Chain A
Amino acid sequence: MTSFADRLARPPLDRASLILLGATAVVLVVDAWVLATVPYLAPPGSVLREALFAVAWIAVGVVAMWLRRGLLARRILALSLVLAADFVGSFGLLGSDPMPRLLVTLTATLIPLQTALAVHLGASYPTGRLLDPFGRRVVVAAYAVAGVEAVWWTFAHVSARTCDACARSYLHVVVPESVHRAVSLVIGAAWVGLCACLLILLWGRYRRAGRRERRLLRLPYASIAVAAALYAVLSVVAAPRGTSAWGVSMTTLIALQVVALVAVPLSFLVALLRERLAYRRIGELVVKLAGGAGADLERSLAIALGDPTLTVAFPVGDGFADSRGRPVPRPEPDDRTTVTAVGEPEMPMALIRHDRSLDEEPALLTAAGSATRLMLENARLQAEVRAQLREVRESRARIVNATNEARARLERDLHDGAQQRLLAIGIALQLLRQRPGDASLFDAAEGELTSALTEMRELAAGIHPAVLTDLGLVAALDALAARLGARVVLEAHGPVRRCSPEIEAAAYFSASEAITNALKHAAPTLVRVSVIDRDDRIVIEVSDDGAGGADGDGSGLVGVRDRLASVDGTLTIDSRRDHGTVVTLEVPCA
C-alpha cells in the first residue's frame, strides 16, 4: 500500500536517463562529423531516414523522462544511444581511415545489441521493470544471444563481403561462406524463438491486465507484437543468406524499420500523451465537485481516473465501510489492483482500490487525491455516521427482539411452572371437599404450593431482583452468586457507589448473562466476579478457568453488548483457547 503523502513531491529528472541522453548527443555530433568528412555509399534518403528514426526514439525517451517515467526513459534512451552509435557504420563508409574503420567495427558489435535492448524495452513496457520470472528469462536470453551474435559479427561482419572499397572492421577475419551460413542460421533460429517468447509474454500480460491497463497497453503492445513478428520473419529469410534481419534487402529492411523504429516509438508517444491528457479529467472533476456534484464521489473518481472498477472504503470503527456506511471487508490488492491510502498512512482517511496501472502515474493519483481530499473527508464522516446509524438500528432491533423473546419465555415459564402447579392445587382442593381427611392430598397440595412459590420467586428475581433496587449492584450480584452455587465467587474491591437504576440494571443483567454464559459453555471449576468502582466507571470482571475461545459475536454476548451500549457501557472479551475467558464490563456511573 502506498500513500498520497509519498507522492506529493515531484521527483527530479532521472539521472541515468540524462547521462544516456548526453552520450547520445555526443555520438550524434560524431556521426554528423563523420558523414560530413568521410565519403559513403548510402543514398542521402537513407541517411535522412536513419537519422529520423534515431531522433524519433530520442524524442520519446525525452518525453518519458519529462513525465518522470525514469525507468522507461532509461530503456528508451539506451536504445537511442545504440541506434545513434551504430547507424553510420552501416552506410558503407569508404576508405581505410581509422575513424570510419572504428565506426564499422563498432557497428558490427552494436547492431545485435540493439535487438536485445529492443526486447528488453518491449518486455518491460510500460514500467521499465521486469517483475515476472518469464520476462526476466526472455530478456536475459536476448542479451545472451545478442552477446554471441555481437562476438560473431565483430569478426565476420557482412559489410566486409559486400563492398571492396568499404572501410573494414579492425577485427575482421575471413570465414568460409558455409560456416557463415551455419552460424547465422543458429542465431536466426534463436531470435525467432525469442520473438515468439516475447509475443507469449505480452499476450499473457495483456490477458491478466485490468480494464484500464488494457486500454493503455493495447496500442504499444500491438506495435511491439507486429515488430517482433516481423523481425522473426525477416530472421528466417535472412538466415540462409548469412546475414541478420537488419541486413536483408533494402525494401524489406524498410518495412522492419518503419514498424520497429517508427510505429513503436510513435505508439509509445501516443500512450504517454494520453496519460498526460488524463489530467484534464482531474480538472473536470474539480469543477464538478466545486459545482456540488459530489454526491457520488466514488463514481466521480472512477470516471476521472478512467478506472471503472475503482472503489473507495472508509475506516469506520474496527472495520471499513463504503460511502453508504455498509460494512465492507478491508480492501486488499490483488494481481490487477492496488490499494492507495489517502491521508496519514497509519490513520488513512480513505483507502482507494484501483487498477494497478495507476501506480505508474503517481502524479495523477496525487492530483485526484488533492482535488477530492475535502470531499473524501466529508464522505468519510458521512460513511461513519451512516455506519453508526446502521449499528444503532440493528442494535435497537436486537433489543426489541430480545425483549419480545424474554416476554415469551416468561409467559412460557409461568404457564409451565406456577400455573400448572396452581391448577393441580385447585384440583386437590376440589377433592379435599369430598374427602376432607385425606392427608396425602394435603401433602401433595402443600408440595405443589412450595414449588410454585420457589418458581415465582426465581422468576421475579430474573425480571428485576428487588435486592438490586434496594441494596445495589454488589448485593444483587452476591445474591445471584449464592443462587448459582459454589462455583461462582464474588469479590468486591472497596465500596461501590450506587448508580442510576437503568445503569445498575444494565450492569447486573450483563454480568448475570456473562456468568450464566461461562457456566453454560466453558465448563469452569470457578467463575470469579469482581466489582471495582474506578473513577467515574464501574468495572465488572467475570473470569473463568474454563475452555476459553469464547466468541464475542456469539448471540449471548451480542445481547450483552447491545444492553451495555444502551447506557454507553462497553464489553471486552479476552479469551484464548485453554486459558479461560475474562469478560470485562464497564458502565459509566457519574
Chain B
Amino acid sequence: MVRTVLLVDDHGGFRAMARLLLESGGYDVVGEAGSAAAAVASARELQPDVVLLDVLLPDGNGADVAERLAALPRPPEVVLISSYPDGGLGARLHDAPVRGFLQKDELTVARLAEMLA
C-alpha cells in the first residue's frame, strides 16, 4: 500500500528535494506546508498517513505541532526532522507523540522506512 506523506519545512528548496527523495522511495507526497499553522490545517484536510515535520518552524516548534496532530480524529504518524542533533528540543523530544527523529543530513528512504515499520 502506498503511504501518503505531508511534508512540513519552511525552506522551499529543501522541500522540493525531499519531495523527490520520498517519491523515489515510493511515497505519495500529497501536500507541503511551510508553517505550523499550515501543517495542522493541511493534515486535517489531507489526512496523510505520515507527516515529515521540521522542528524549527517560523510560527512554532515541532513538538507542539506533533501534539496538535496527535489530537486529530485520524492522527498521522509523525517523524520529526531537524538540522540539529536533537532539534534543539532537549527532553521534550522524548515526550513528543512521534514515531522518531531524523537529522536532516541522515534523511534517506531506508531510514524512514525503518522508523515507520
Question: Interface 1/0s, chain B 1-26, versus A by CB < 8 A?
Answer: 00000000011011011101100100
| Nearest CB in chain B: distance from A421 CB, A | 6
Q: How many A-B residue pairs have CB under 8 A?
A: 48
Are B56 and A424 in contact, with the CB atoms below 8 A?
no
**B44 on interface, CB distance cutoff 8 Å:** no
Contact of A423 (CB < 8 Å), options: B10, B20, B56, B105: B105
Q: B84: nearest residue on chain A (CB-CB)?
A: A415
Residues of B within 8 A of A427 (CB): 14, 17-18, 20-21, 107
A420–B56 CA distance with the chains assembled, in angstroms: 12
Are B16 and A420 in contact, with the CB atoms below 8 A?
no
Are A434 and B13 in contact, with the CB atoms below 8 A?
no
**A502 on interface, CB distance cutoff 8 Å:** no
Question: Interface 1/0s, chain B 43-66, versus A by CB < 8 A?
Answer: 000000000000010000000000
Q: B56: nearest residue on chain A (CB-CB)?
A: A415
Are A424 and B16 in contact, with the CB atoms below 8 A?
yes
Are A431 and B21 in contact, with the CB atoms below 8 A?
yes
Residues of A within 8 A of B18 (CB): 424, 427
Are A444 and B24 in contact, with the CB atoms below 8 A?
no
Residues of B within 8 A of A416 (CB): 10-11
| Nearest CB in chain B: distance from A240 CB, A | 93
Q: A445: nearest residue on chain B (CB-CB)?
A: B17
Are A424 and B24 in contact, with the CB atoms below 8 A?
no
Are A434 and B24 in contact, with the CB atoms below 8 A?
yes
A420–B107 CA distance with the chains assembled, in angstroms: 13
A425–B14 CA distance with the chains assembled, in angstroms: 8
Residues of B within 8 A of A428 (CB): 17, 20
Highest count of chain B CB atoms <10 Å: which of A415, A423, A430, A441: A423
Residues of A within 8 A of B20 (CB): 427-428, 431, 441
Are B83 and A420 in contact, with the CB atoms below 8 A?
yes
| Nearest CB in chain B: distance from A97 CB, A | 112
Question: Interface 1/0s, chain A 553-571, versus B by CB < 8 A?
Answer: 0000000000000000000
Highest count of chain A CB atoms <10 Å: which of B17, B20, B24: B17
Question: Interface 1/0s, chain B 75-117, versus A by CB < 8 A?
Answer: 0000000010000000000000000000011011000000000
A interface, CB within 8 angstroms of B: 415-416, 419-421, 423-428, 430-431, 434-435, 441, 444, 447-448, 451
22 CB-based A-B contacts, threshold 8 Å: A416-B10, A419-B83, A420-B83, A421-B14, A423-B83, A424-B11, A424-B14, A424-B17, A427-B17, A427-B18, A427-B107, A428-B17, A428-B20, A430-B21, A431-B21, A434-B24, A435-B24, A444-B13, A444-B16, A447-B13, A448-B13, A451-B13
List the 6 closest A-B pairs by CB distance, nearest first.
A427-B17, A420-B11, A424-B17, A424-B13, A424-B14, A423-B104
